[in-house]
Amino acid sequence: MKQNIFDIYITAAFSLIIPITGRMAFGLVTIVELNILVFFTFGFSYLLNFLDIDDLRTISPMIFMVFLAVFLQCLLKIFFPIVAFSMGFSQYLICFSALAIGTLFPHSEKISFKSQFKSLLSLMLPMSIILFCFFALRDVLGYGTLTLPGPWGIMEIKCFRGFDGIPFFASIPFTFICVGLLAALFDFIRTKVIILHRSTD
Amino acid sequence: MITSYVFFYYIFCISTCLISGVGLQQTFFFSKNLDKFASTIVTCFFVSTITVIAMWLTAVPLLCPYGLGDLIPIFAFLFVLLLSKILNIFFMSFFSKSITGIALSTIIVLFALSEANSLLVAMCFVLICLISITIIVLLQFVLQNRILITDAPEFLKRTSLLLISTGIIILLLHSWSISWLNLEDLK
């Protein structure tokens, strides 16, 4: 992965992890919404490519993504009203993170739909797993629970008896430090992989 | 009316950039390269202020009474897009430079509209967001330059130490208030 792509990828991930409340219920909603936005917009962009509509190729996927985000927000308000109310403004951040990931979309007519879809999946799958792990970790350490979104709020599953969590672990400063350590780990692995590739060449 | 206490509270103590995530994504790109930062902030100020005024005077009174307030983000985004395109034509013809910041302007407008209860407060929130982003970008730019001259391993220098330092900055900003006595505040 090139340095600028890696930077966009990391910043898109942590701009979601940091401001959204550190509970697994909100994390699950975020992951589902992000994936829907990214994959549907990718489909829409591919359709524009397929129909040879060149004039709208840059703007219309962005507009489509915002339309879809508002539609998803309405659905969230219907099915999980308290989760939607709690997330508030941060729901729009998902849309703009998806827009940043959108700049990494493989736009080319020469590459087949299948291979474009595969490369997008290879971008989104690790990101979803990282997001899920982060939200679950913050939930367990910060509150001592695992949570799921429900129609009357969030359903809590107690993890350990007698452990109510340490609030600092669910806080934003701790998340910054954690994301920093994760970025260091990724950078370390990336550097090693680059060295390995060069040595084999 | 927004008081000076609230104004500074939103800039420093619960920085809109670090806590609410307004422009957080962009700050990490600008912390490495300040080239387009000033033009982006000035453009965002004009675009966001005009959009907030336009939305408050047209979309809010037209949509909110009928329960269609959820559609405001679409109109705000379309308005920002239109205004940015017009400004882009102007900048390209006079300065031969393109402008950026459509996403940042839209996030600021949506934040201002969701937090404010009057037009003046909404415009204050636009200003608060931009000041908050400017402070964080300048802080991170200085930090990044300091990090680059240290002997730390290369993989720590790129993003990691900057993120950890930002986490510590939030702790310092929070120490300004007595929020340490109330850990619930940090959740």
| Per-residue pLDDT at B131 | 93
The pLDDT of residue B179 is 53
Give the residue on A whose Cα is nearest the Cα of B103: A96
Contact A67 B74 (CB under 8 A): yes
pLDDT score of A105 more than 80? no
Tell me whether A12 touches chain B (CB under 8 Å): yes
> What's the average model confidence in pLDDT over A130-159?
87
Highest average pLDDT, of A47-56, A72-81, A163-172, B146-155, comes from A72-81
Residue B184, pLDDT above cutoff 70? no
Which residues in chain B have their CB less than 8 angstroms from residue A179's CB?
A: 163
For residue A1, the model assigns a pLDDT of 58
Taking an 8 Å cut-off on Cβ atoms, the answer to whether B20 and A19 are in contact is yes
- Compute the count of residue pairs across chains A and B with CB atoms less than 8 Å apart: 126
Residue B49 has pLDDT above 90, yes or no: yes
ipTM of the complex: 0.85
The label of the residue with tokens 């913050």 reads A138
Helices (H), ranges, chain A: 3-17, 24-50, 59-79, 81-87, 90-102, 113-143, 172-200
Residues 161-190 of chain A with CB under 8 A from chain B are 167-168, 170-177, 179-181, 183-184, 187-188, 190
Measured between CA atoms, the residue of chain B closest to residue A67 is B74
Is the Cβ of B33 closer than 8 Å to some Cβ of chain A? no
Cβ neighbours for A102, distance < 8 A, ≥ 6 positions apart: A38, A41, A61, A62, A65
| Mean pLDDT taken over chain A | 83
Q: Tell me: the pLDDT tens digits for A3-40?
A: 667 777 777 777 888 888 888 899 999 999 999 988 88
List pLDDT tens digits, range B105-128. 889 999 998 888 888 889 999 999
* CA gap A149, A82 in Å, rounded: 9
